[in-house]
Amino acid sequence: MALQVELLEASFARIKERQTDFTDCFYAILFKDYPDVKPLFAHVSMDDQSKKLFDSLALVVRGLRNPEALMEPLKGLGTRHVQYGAVPAHYPAVGATLLQAFANILQEDWTSEVEWAWANAYSIIAQIMLEGSEYPPELLQPKALVERASL
């Protein structure tokens, strides 16, 4: 995995200082830009959910120096997401939302290098999660993902 560990760690340390602002911002953008995903979260406590999202990002950042150890947990997370109603096309939507929320919180520290590092990290994470899920192959084609990313 070609990841820019130091950039990811340093930028995430800044996000950590503003954890609640970050998660509030993330879900506000997600539900505004992709209202179709809202029903998936209807029964979920958003406080708990925000904490879980943040903890999973923290876990990934902590694991970056030993990425092999992240493979099985991320595949398992992907498997569980099939039960949650997530489909492959949701992954680019969540990725775009994540980058936007980072940008809002980091402001001038959201440089193009940091953006690239997170975009790359997210696409690797999403790919591993998707490997752990059993979607029909046609749903995993890049074309299908792009077409449905504007859900």
Task: Check residue 86 for interaction with ligand HEM (CB under 6 A).
Answer: yes
Specify the stretch interacting with ligand HEM by CB under 6 A; choose among 4-12, 87-95, 106-114, 133-141.
87-95
Q: Which of residues 101-130 bind ligand HEM (CB under 6 A)?
A: 125-126, 129
Task: Check residue 133 for interaction with ligand HEM (CB under 6 A).
Answer: no
Q: For residue 18, which phi and psi values (nearest 5 degrees)?
A: -130, 50
Between 32 and 71, how does the x/- string for binding to ligand HEM read (CB under 6 A)? -----x--xx--x----x--xx--x---------------
Number of residues located near ligand HEM, criterion CB under 6 A: 19
CA distance 146 to 124: 16
Task: Check residue 81 for interaction with ligand HEM (CB under 6 A).
Answer: yes
For the chain, state the CA radius of gyration.
15
Distances 120 to 2, 4, 35, 85, 95 between C-alpha atoms, Å: 8, 9, 25, 25, 10
Helix (H, G, I), strand (E, B) or coil at 85: coil
Residues 7 and 114: beta-carbon distance below 8 Å? yes
Amino acid at 53: L
Q: Which residues bind ligand HEM (CB under 6 A)?
A: 37, 40-41, 44, 49, 52-53, 56, 77, 80-81, 84, 86, 90-91, 94, 125-126, 129
